[in-house]
Structures are given as structure tokens and as C-alpha cells.
Structure 1
Amino acid sequence: MLRNKRALTVGVLALSSALVLTACSSDDSDEGGDAGGNVTLNLATVNNGQMKDMEQLKTEYETANPGTTVNFQVMEEGDLRSAVTADVASGAGQYDIVTIGAYETPQWGANGWLVDLTEDLKADTAYDVDDILPPVRDVNSYEGKLYAVPFYGESSILMYNKEVLDAANVTMPVNPTWQEVADAAKKVNTADMSGICMRGKPGWGDLFAPLTTVVQTFGGNWYDMEWNATVNSAEWKEAVTFYKTLLDESGQADPVSYSFNECLTALKEGKSAMWADASVAASMLEAADSPVKGKMGYSHMPVTKTQESGWLWSWNLAVPASTKNKDAAIDFVKWATSKDYHKLVGEKIGWSNVPPGARTSTYEIPEYKEAAAAFAPITLEVMTAVNPKQPGVSPQPWVGIQYVSIPEFQDVGNQCAQLVADYLANRTSVDDALAKCQDIAQKGGDAHKG
């Protein structure tokens, strides 16, 4: 399915392929920098703790590479996607290095928008490209070529404050159901602490990241095998209604303003007792400066009809084909995703802050194994247990869990997320939201029929 090279039809992706390929063509040599040979690399990245650690440590790279300056442009997730998509698709060349997800990498690689990193990485034996976890390496490849490398990989898990649950005589299973989680959330919900925090902020990578996995474990999905949209199904309605009821009864106030960072803060500050979200959050909850370090418990993502419901995702570093600093950009990408970088994070910032889910060797470092003992084993367990080819009850014609890996999904997901967010905020009914989403999703699926 990812081999479909139809012209992108939505948003900024509707730019003609002729314009894109012309703008993206570049020489293999570096053309950027000033007359003195100095190079400034512009790196666009997402606003989260792991990326902020990289920004903090960039001086280590700059010191080792005199004349090279790395300029970080940190954005919220939705803003990052819009800015990077517009830049890379048009070949404008504003960024030398971009942070993109597993959703974008194979599609953009197929379109010629990214530098093929395969040979550069294989030629560097110290980099050891084979050390990258195979599932994460695979989702960043197209036709056997690697177009991005993971800064960190993740699945999703349930995180809960053990002290709060213990005080309420609640025992959380390692493999809970969503009903068990809803019951537990009710028991620990108070005026000062919500029983659970869940994403509600509109966006295919915000609200729909966890909600799509809820839909899948309830038996629904975006499309059937013939690319017929199935958003108006009974399974979708049951899952979305459950999600809203959970938030209404035990969730945070104003859920549509919450995504990853807001829920992370709520758990750290004792304003929420539980959270089902990205497994990478565990490393932040267990960081040395975290108020809840040592107080957290971790379980598999809750299920209803499936054995697992975690997602598989990675935030990756890629080099746009339009960069004028190709060699320098690749060199920084190699540094920031290397074994040595993982050790540097541990030594300079803390071993629990080492980027998880990217390299096999990370899980063999004694200091990391000790610092990440609470969450590292379950992260690996869930990442290897999920099935991106069929995460739900029924077969699907794409590979991906919390997203549909077609160009149209970014726009489809964003529009539908706004409709569901309106339902969460009591501005519309579930039937109206899903009916409108069904029409939007079908337009996206129509391009792939036949």
C-alpha cells in the first residue's frame, strides 16, 4: 500500500510532484555555510523532554565539530507537522534535519523528499545500524532503504500512581481491560485529582493516537479491506461513547485542551491518578527530578476484544533532500542516534532519560537497566507484542496501528478529530460527529480503491 505513488491530494501535500522533485533535487556535496566553511544546521523538532535533552547536549557535538552550529526550532506536535510537511513537500529547504514520525517516513521516502541514509549508515561500522530495533527500523524503510533513523521508539501503556490506587484498595492487572480501568478511575477520582487523564486535543496525532487504539480493541477500524470507510459502525460509536463517558465520569476538566504534555504534567503534579499513553512518558515520570519517581506502576494498554492494544511509533530524524548541508546533517543525525549518544544522555542527564525503544544495546547497559527497571521491560514487551499489520479484530489493507498509512490520513484524521473533540466538549452528538467523519474518511479511502 505504501508503494502507491499517487499525487498527494490534501493540504500542502497537493503540490505537484514535478514541482516537488525539481525543488528537492540536490548535489551530494554540502553547499551551505559561509565562506569560512562554517555550517549552521536548522533542526525542526517536537516539544517534548527527549528532544529538549538533545538540544541541551548539542553543545557536545558543536564542541567536537568546530564551525558547526545546530539551531533547534522546537514546536508543538501539530505545528511541527504542518511546518515540516509544507517545507519538505515544497522543497523550500528551510530545515536541514527534521523530526518526523513513522507515518511520514516511508511515504516521503517514496516521493523522493528525503535523503536515503542506507549506505552512509552501513558504511559506518561504529554506528551499527543493525543495532536499531528491527520493528522500528522496518517502519522507517521503503523498499529496503532507510530514510530516517529513530531518536526513540515507543508503544503505549497504562501508567498509574501506585500509592493512590493502593489507598483505594485498587489492584491494577498487568493486562487490564478498559472496563477494569474505568472502574478503577471512578474509585480514585476526587475533586482534586482526576481518576484518569486522556488526550482530547484535536489532531490525528493528538486525540486520535489513543482513541484509534480504543476503537480497534472495541472491534472497529477506519476502513475495511476494500477501503470502504467504517466510521459510522456500531463499534466506533461504542468506543467513542466509552471514551467520552470515561472522561465525563473520571477524567480531567476541559479534556479537549489536553494532549501528551498536559497529561504528563497532571500525573507529575498529582492532579491525575492514571494515564494511558506513550510508553516514553515513563522515562520522564521516573526521571530524577520527577515528584512521582518510584511511585508509578505500569501495565499493558487496556483491551476489550483484542489481546493487545498498544501502538507502535517512533520519532525519527531525517534529512530533507532539499538541504544544502547534506553531509553535515547526516553526521549530526548519526551522532544523535548513536550508541555513544545514549551513553552521553545517561552520564550527563540521567540514565532513565536515555531514549528508549530505539537500540537493542541500550537495554544491555547496566546503569540503564537499573534506572529503567520499572518501565524498560514492559516497553520492550509491548513493542514486540503488538501487530501493526492487524491491530484490531478484522484485517486491514495498510500497516499501522494508531494511524492509516496513506497520504490522505493526515487531513482525514485532523478533521475527524475536531468532530470528535466537539462531541467530547458537548458541542455535537456522537451520531452527527461520526456521520460527518464517515463522509470525510470515505473521500480519503476512495483514492485507494482498486
Structure 2
Amino acid sequence: MKRKLIAAIGATAMMASVAACGSGDSNASKDPKERNETLTVWLMVDAQSTWPELVKDVNAQFKAKYPKTKVNVQYQQWGDKAKKLDAALAGDKYPDVVELGNTETMTYILNGALGEIDPKKYENSDTWIKGLKDTCSFEGKQYCVPYYAGARVALYNKDMFKAGTGSDKLPETEADLTKALDKVGKKYGKDKAFSPLYLPGRYWYAAMSYVAAYGGQIAKYDEGTKEWKSSLSTPEAQKGIKHFTDLVDTYNNGDKTKDEQDHANVMANEKTALLYGNGWEAGSVIDPKANGNAKLKDKIGVAGMPGPDGKALPSFIGGSDLATISKSKVQDLGEEWISMFTSAKSQEVLASKNILPNNTKQLAPLKAKPETAPIANAVPDAWFTPIAPGWTAIEKKEILEVMLLDIIKGKSVEEATKAADAEIDKLINEES
């Protein structure tokens, strides 16, 4: 999408937001106790299963101020939420508040679906985690509110490391880690399907973490041309990609052409000693309901993943954001509900469950808490995908996965990254 079209969409979004606010102006001036309306909130099922008391408490707070207004919370599944939301937005039965994964927000910002918000209305907005705040920002305006954060860490089998190295602690540097992996591999090498480190070849989140470790980026924004340009063939990015594929070749004895979707099951089946994954996947490894292995309870450790040059490996920052729908007739109520749901008090509830809060102030104590320290410490230096109009299309076309697979199959890093740059440049500035 060219800059002119971006501006046009931005204007459309602004008009939609103004129209929505305008339609609710008369209601907004009413006594809160006289607001007889319904606020529909779409939250992901995580809130229903892990912090339902927070939803209940916030709805009670809201009810105390707006006794005649009904809050209708509808829980969604990640697998089909986007499809359902797109269909709802095309009709006249849409939510007023929606939870979005932080890689989803830009698509909805650019198509004008989200209402503009004023950060000053939200507690701790001055210390929102940058990687989350940026996913809600476009051309100096804010369109959603950070909800919670997530990061990738090392998940390891403590017993296997103890058997192979004499210690059940994960080494703190990559140099020491590779020495330990060599020993673990020797200990369990009779099983040809065993991988000391199971790092799937198409795992682009991991590959781009190594790119970030060398100072590279997937793409860069040019302030002069006002466009994005892919930068995978820069020396820094190529070093990171080669580092990643070398680790895959050396330590993954499984199917190198797979992605990371089932790597927790690989660990559950005791076919690896180490993964690089989301912190919550440690639970999946031992949960029978997720095809996990209950026998591994208390045997799976979580630690920061060592990266090149003695530093921690930069993590992709995941998480969720909350937004109002621009054409909602109760957008002001949506903003207030989000404000209550993301208040410091509410974020404390998340922190008590080892979920990373949306701000650095409340994140700080979790850096010293054993259960959360590896993930919390990975957040400040985390990286994010380009906040570009065409990023969704790039992900759908699996350009990064294809590039990595080509390298695993023998194509040179130079040739593969140059081809990926060309493909990305065709899409990155276009509306998804």
C-alpha cells in the first residue's frame, strides 16, 4: 500500500472514530446511573480459564457505576477469532471491545476498525511496555491498550542435563551451552531420534531472534520514502540466520523441515533436552490434556536462552491488546471498561498468576521472582515484527519459513535471503 492510500485509510479510520464518538455524545453526557445499554466484550478464552475472577471483579466495578448497563462478555478461541471478527465487522452485530493478539492489530488499525484512544485515560500508560505499545500505534496516534506480555525462553529437561553434564542448571552462555549439549547428545545418542536441542528448521520466530542478536532486522522503515524495505540480506541478518541454521543442523536430529507447533510434544516424549519456546509451553509438556507427559512434572526447567557473544538471546515479544470498535455506539463505555480491566489493580491479578503485566513498573518485581524471572527479563530487549501494512500477507505466504527451508535443504544463505527480500518487498507496503 502506498503512502497516499495509508493516509486515506487513516482518514477513514479517523472519520469512523469521530462518527462513533459523535453518535454516543448524548449518551455520554447522561448520568451514568441512567445509561441503559449493552456493552459487548470479546475476550480470548485465556481470561475465562486462568483469571475469571478478574473479569468478574471488573464487571462488578463497572456495574457499580453503570447499574443499568449490561456487560456481555463473550469468550473466543484463537483459532477462529479473526475470521469471526471480520464477519462481525462486515455486518451490524459486532463487539464493542475486542482482544487482539499484538500481531493482529495493524490490520485492523489500517482498515479503520479500531477507535482512537487517549493513553492519558489509562493507568501506567507512561510505562507501557514499548513492544506492546508500538503494536497499537500508527502515525502518532494510539488505537489500542496493552493487556499483557509474553516472551520466549529456554525450556529444558533438568534430569537429562544432570545425566549428561552433572548439573541440572542450564548454562548461562551459549559457549557453555553447546558444550553441555554435546555431552547430553553423547549420553542419549543411542536413540537416533533424540535431539539435544530440538530447533525446527522452519521456526522463524527463533531464527529472527538470532537476527536480532546480531543487530539485524527483518525490514527497515525509510523516513524519506515513507516505505518499508526488507533487510534480510544485510550482513547482520545473514549472520543471525546462518547461526540459527547451523544450530539446527548440529543439534536437531529430528525432521528439520518442520515448524515449532508440536515441539512441546517432542519434549513430552523425551526426544529432546532443550527447546526454545513460550514460557507457558512448560505446562504443555507435562499436561496430559495437551498430549503432555505427567511423569515429567518438576523435571522441566525454564531459563533465559543464551545467545551469541555471551548475551541473552533477544525474544519476540508476544501478548494481547484491547481495543474499542470505531463504529460502536457505546465506545466511551468500552474505553472505560478497558481502563478498569487494565488498571494497576487488575494488572496485579495477572502478575499474581505469573502473567506478565503491560507496564515496566509492575514487571520489575517479576524479574526477581524465580517462576517469572526468565520471561520477565527477556521483555525489555525483545523484538517485534515490522509494523507494516503488508506484514499479515507476508506471514500468510510463509516467506520466512520458505527461506529457512531452502537453506536447510542446501541453498546458500546469501541466495535465500536475497530471494526473500524480493518477495517481502512486493508485499510489505501493500494493504493486507
> Number of residue pairs matched?
397
* Cα displacement string for residues 363-386 of structure 1 (whole angstroms, at most 9, x for unaligned residues): 577xx78xx8224334343333x2
Q: Aligned to 1:277, what secondary structure does the other structure show? A: strand
**Counterpart in 1 of 2:171?**
173
Check if 1:153 corresponds to 2:136. no
Consecutive unaligned residues of structure 2, counting only runs of 5 or more, are: 28-34, 223-227
Higher helix proportion: 2
Describe the shift of the 1:181–1:117 C-alpha distance in structure 2 as closer, same or farther (beyond 3 A): farther
1:330 aligns with 2:335: yes
In structure 1, how many angstroms separate the alpha carbons of the residues matched to 2:205 and 2:258? 15
Task: State the SS of the aligned residue for 2:211.
Answer: helix
**CA RMSD for the aligned pairs?**
4.9
CA–CA separation in structure 2 for the residues paired with 1:115 and 1:133: 21
Alignment equivalent of 2:385, drawn from 384, 387, 403 = 403
Instruction: Output aligned runs, 1:161-240, within 5 Å.
Output: 161-169=157-165, 172-176=170-174, 183=182, 186-187=185-186, 191=191, 194-198=195-199, 207-218=203-214, 220-223=216-219, 229-232=230-233, 239-240=240-241
**Aligned position for 2:32:** none
Kept in 2: contact 1:297–1:374 (CA 8 A): no
Matches within 5 A, 1:305-344: 308-344=313-349
Of residues 7, 21, 26 in structure 2, which corresponds to 1:27?
21
Deviations 1:96-119 (A, max 9, x none): 333334455578557754223326
- Give the match for residue 394 of structure 2: 412
Who is 1:440 aligned against?
A: 423
TM-score (norm 1): 0.66
Q: Are 2:97 and 1:100 aligned? A: no
Alignment partners' CA distance in 2, 1:414 and 1:244: 22
Quick one: distance in 1 between partners of 2:301 and 2:210?
Answer: 23
How many angstroms does 1:298 deviate by?
Answer: 0.7
Q: Cα distance 1:86–1:68, how it changes in 2: closer, same or farther (>3 A)? A: closer
Matching of residue 377 in structure 1 with residue 367 in structure 2: no
Paired residues of 1:302 and 1:308 also in contact (CA < 8 A): yes
Distance 1:381 1:119 in 2: 25
Using the alignment, how far apart are the partners of 2:425 and 2:43 within structure 1? 32
Question: How far did residue 319 of structure 1 move?
Answer: 1.8
CA distance in 2, matches of 1:59, 1:153: 21
The amino acid of 2:421's aligned partner reads Q
Corresponding residue for residue 296 of structure 1: 301
Write the distance in 2 (CA, Å) between the matches of 1:230 and 1:216.
12
Deviation at 1:282, TM superposition (A): 6.4
Greater Rg, structure 1 or structure 2? Answer: 2
Whole-Å separation in 1 of the counterparts to 2:187 and 2:244: 18
SS at 2:159's partner residue? helix
Q: For structure 1, which runs of at least 5 residues remain unmatched after alignment?
A: 10-14, 202-206, 389-400
- The answer to whether residue 50 in structure 2 is matched with residue 53 in structure 1 is yes
Residue identity matched to 1:39: T
TM-aligned CA deviation for residue 156 of structure 1: 3.2
What percentage of residue pairs aligned between the two structures are identical? 16
Q: CA separation in 1, counterparts of 2:205 and 2:137?
A: 22
2:50 aligned partner, one-letter code? D
Deviation (angstroms), 1:242 = 5.0
